[in-house]
Amino acid sequence: MDDTSPPPHSPNLPRPPAGAAGAAPQPGPDEVALVIDDRPVVVKKGTTVLQAAEKAGLLVPHYCYHPGLSIAGNCRMCLVEIEKVPKLQIGCATVVAPGMVVRTGNERVRTVRAGIQEFLLINHPLDCPICDQAGECRLQSYEKDYGRGVSRFVDEKVHSPKRYDIGRSVVFDGERCIKCTRCIRFCDEISESHELALFQRGDHAIIGTFPGKPLDNPYSGCTVDVCPVGALTWKPFRFKSRVWFLKNVPSVCAGCARGCNVYLAAFRNRLHRMTPRANPDVNAYWMCDAGRQSYAALYERPRLERPVVRPSAAAWDAAFDRAAELLRGVAKSRGAGALAGIVSARLSVEDLHVSRKVLGDLAGISRLAVPPHEDGADDELLIRRDKTPNARGARLIGVGGPSAGRVKEIVDDVAAGRVRGLVVVGEDLLELPGVTTALLDRLDVLIVIDWWKSPTVERAHVAFPACGYGEFEGTMVNFQGRVQRLRAGVRPAGEADPVWRILRDLGRRFDLTSEYATPAAIFDEVAATVPAFRGLSYKVLGETGAPAAEAVAGEAYAGGAPAVGGAGLAGSIAPAGS
């Protein structure tokens, strides 16, 4: 669980049996031993009480504390009792000291916490039934533990702007806001775009923007993630689904070479949102707005839902037979040199591995090229100029990295009539420089595997419907050389199949003997045969991935360094559960 998830409802574990304190581990030179709720805890020097309690399995309720942001100490929810200190202290800002005795849940602490909770709700609209945050709202979670159930507040609430477009994609509700300033701190410290600030004073204090400067940075969606209540909502997700109906699947964004760890959230077989999933080595707690909405293409572009043998839809077997026949025909009449393939670095390691096997080894296509997709520049946080999520994987697997030159050679050979048959996987050729419909019409054979009805698909002799992002599982290697797993959040549209399975079944027409039953099995073969992947398996990759072996040995693996701009954001990442 990371910070985007609501806290558990009954966070505190039962007390250890009496005498357990005797088994306390001895603190090392850089460590501090203390006691929290009768539990001995040993933590690194400089750890805060809140983090130490977390380590001991005790969740100290909090709103304003976020492990990726500076300490604000304003919500006062994490007040705890420390022996020999007269006033309660905030756990988020109090650093542990040797021999400290902390109580996080006694009567005094609980009474104060209930008071804070009540204060936060007196001016809150209590509009949970129509609030998108309901179900993952900290006000709700803590109200369950600390609320009195009946409000003692009978006066007129403070009113603030509601449904206010604070930025391009974010809507602000001033009445739901608890002024924790997480969003302000995000814009000051992470995106460094400084759009947000607090205005006014007292209970009229309100988050706002400066005249003519809306919240419009490439990471604005993260303000919605860090908002512990329903004050900031993500426009594309508003009123789309109750969050408790969403199935959150851990996956990886395929929007660029960063490979931010994400949750794909689906309801009724439709993706409704992508949110960042904490990974200290890759994206810390963040992701960019473009990546956040990258799944939307699945619903915006016309889908290819069935195989096509021009000019009409066809059954799978007929399409495979026809494709094999066409490829053999070109090889026979023009020689294998007249065949070429364009495969995408947006495909998974498994897809690319089977591509190399089936297209290269079996169908005899000696030339495979991978088109580059670059846009803008690398920024200092997450965004990469390289928009292909698996360029590094294509290189490691032996297909070769994205190369405009190699693509151009093939395009030139098509123009010159030297290439007569082309297999295209996951690319729209007409997006590439120098490719025109007239050029494609010169081909004797054009076989396309893609998830949407691209202009290239329209001109294919045979086209196969592939899974789109979010519909397949597999692995990709990010720019750091980190191998990470993508998972499927929804079932494929129509008859679409994963690329590796389409290629496998095509390969059967060329005497493919490998079974390739699952992506995991393909990955195991990759691990066994490709040195860069030695020792890896889906199990080893787990939820947050692992560096490719070759990347570690050869080029310095970038994943050990802070994932995010200079000052070690990743270094500040606390254990999960914050």
Partner 1 sequence: MAFEAVLTRNIRKPGSDGIDSYLASGGYQGLRRILKETAPERLVDEVKNSGLRGRGGAGFPTGMKWGFLPKTKDRPRYLCVNADESEPGTFKDRLLIEKDPHLVLEGIILSAYAIECQLAFFYIRGEFHQGYRTFERAVGEAYAKGFLGKNIQGSGYDLDILIYRGAGAYICGEETALLESLEGKRGYPRIKPPFPAVVGLYGCPTIINNVETLANVTLIAERGAAWFASIGRPPKNTGPKLFCLSGDVKRPGVYEAPLGVPFLELLNEYAGGMAHPDRPLKAAVPGGSSMKILPASKCDVLMDFDSLAAAGTSLGSAGGIVMDSGTCMVAALLNIARFYAHESCGQCTPCREGTGWIVKILSRLERGEGRREDVGLLADIAVKIEGNTICPFGEAIAWPVDSYVKTFRDEFEEHARRGACPMRPATVR
Q: Which two tokens stand for residue 138?
A: 């900290």
Q: Indicate which single residue of 58, 60, 79, 502 sits in contact with partner 1 (rule: CB under 8 A).
A: 79
Q: What is the 3-state secondary structure (H, E, C) of 343-396?
A: ECCCCCHHHHHHHHHHHHHHCCCCEEECCCCECCCCCCCCCCCECCCCHHHHHH
Q: Which two tokens stand for residue 80?
A: 């705890």
Q: Among the candidate windows 88-96, 277-285, 441-449, 543-551, which touches partner 1 by CB under 8 A?
A: 88-96
Minimal distance, residue 201 CB to partner 1, in Å = 5
Q: Which pairs with CB-CB distance under 8 Å and at least 24 residues apart come from 23-30?
A: 27/98
* DSSP per-residue codes, 277-306: --BTTTTBT---HHHHTGGGHHHHSPB--S
Q: Indicate which single residue of 178, 215, 435, 503 sits in contact with partner 1 (rule: CB under 8 A).
A: 178
Cα distance between residue 92 and residue 80, in whole Å: 10
Q: Among the candidate windows 18-26, 82-90, 229-237, 420-428, which touches partner 1 by CB under 8 A?
A: 82-90
Q: Among the candidate windows 193-201, 315-323, 358-366, 416-424, which touches partner 1 by CB under 8 A?
A: 193-201
Per-residue contact flags (x/-) with partner 1 for residues 53 to 72, judged by CB under 8 A: ------------------x-
32 contacts partner 1 (rule: CB under 8 A):
no
106 contacts partner 1 (rule: CB under 8 A):
no
Minimal distance, residue 196 CB to partner 1, in Å = 12
Q: Among the candidate windows 53-61, 155-163, 167-175, 538-546, which touches partner 1 by CB under 8 A?
A: 155-163
| CA 374 and chain centroid, separation | 20
Minimal distance, residue 524 CB to partner 1, in Å = 52
Question: What is the identity of the amino acid at 545?
Answer: G
87 contacts partner 1 (rule: CB under 8 A):
yes
Q: Indicate which single residue of 14, 129, 149, 202 sits in contact with partner 1 (rule: CB under 8 A).
A: 202
For residue 159, the surrounding DSSP H or E stretch is none
Q: Residues 398, 404, 408, 411: is their CA dihedral positive or negative?
A: positive
Cα distance between residue 426 and residue 407, in whole Å: 14
> Residues in contact with partner 1, total (CB under 8 A)?
35
Q: Indicate which single residue of 50, 82, 116, 446 sits in contact with partner 1 (rule: CB under 8 A).
A: 116
Minimal distance, residue 167 CB to partner 1, in Å = 21
Cα distance between residue 487 and residue 86, in whole Å: 51
158 contacts partner 1 (rule: CB under 8 A):
yes
Beta carbon nearer to partner 1, 202 or 405:
202
| CA 531 and chain centroid, separation | 27
75 contacts partner 1 (rule: CB under 8 A):
yes
Burial of residue 334 (CB within 10 Å: 0-12, 13-18, 19+) is middle
189 contacts partner 1 (rule: CB under 8 A):
no
Burial of residue 242 (CB within 10 Å: 0-12, 13-18, 19+) is exposed
77 contacts partner 1 (rule: CB under 8 A):
yes
Cα distance between residue 371 and residue 343, in whole Å: 8
Minimal distance, residue 152 CB to partner 1, in Å = 6
198 contacts partner 1 (rule: CB under 8 A):
yes
Q: Among the candidate windows 198-206, 260-268, 390-398, 437-445, which touches partner 1 by CB under 8 A?
A: 198-206
Minimal distance, residue 45 CB to partner 1, in Å = 16
Neighbours of 194 (CB within 10 A): 14
Cα distance between residue 500 and residue 514, in whole Å: 12
Cα distance between residue 382 and residue 212, in whole Å: 26
Q: Indicate which single residue of 73, 360, 364, 568 sits in contact with partner 1 (rule: CB under 8 A).
A: 73
Q: Contact, 38 vs 15, CB < 8 A?
A: yes
Q: Indicate which single residue of 12, 38, 45, 119 sits in contact with partner 1 (rule: CB under 8 A).
A: 119
Q: Among the candidate windows 17-25, 150-158, 520-528, 553-561, which touches partner 1 by CB under 8 A?
A: 150-158
User: What is the chain's percent helix, strand, coil content, to nearest 5?
Assistant: 30, 20, 50
Beta carbon nearer to partner 1, 87 or 539:
87
* DSSP per-residue codes, 339-350: EEEEE-TTS-HH
Minimal distance, residue 211 CB to partner 1, in Å = 17
What residues make contact with partner 1 under the rule CB under 8 A?
Answer: 71, 73-77, 79, 87-88, 90, 93, 112, 115-116, 118-120, 122-123, 152-156, 158, 178-179, 197-198, 200-205
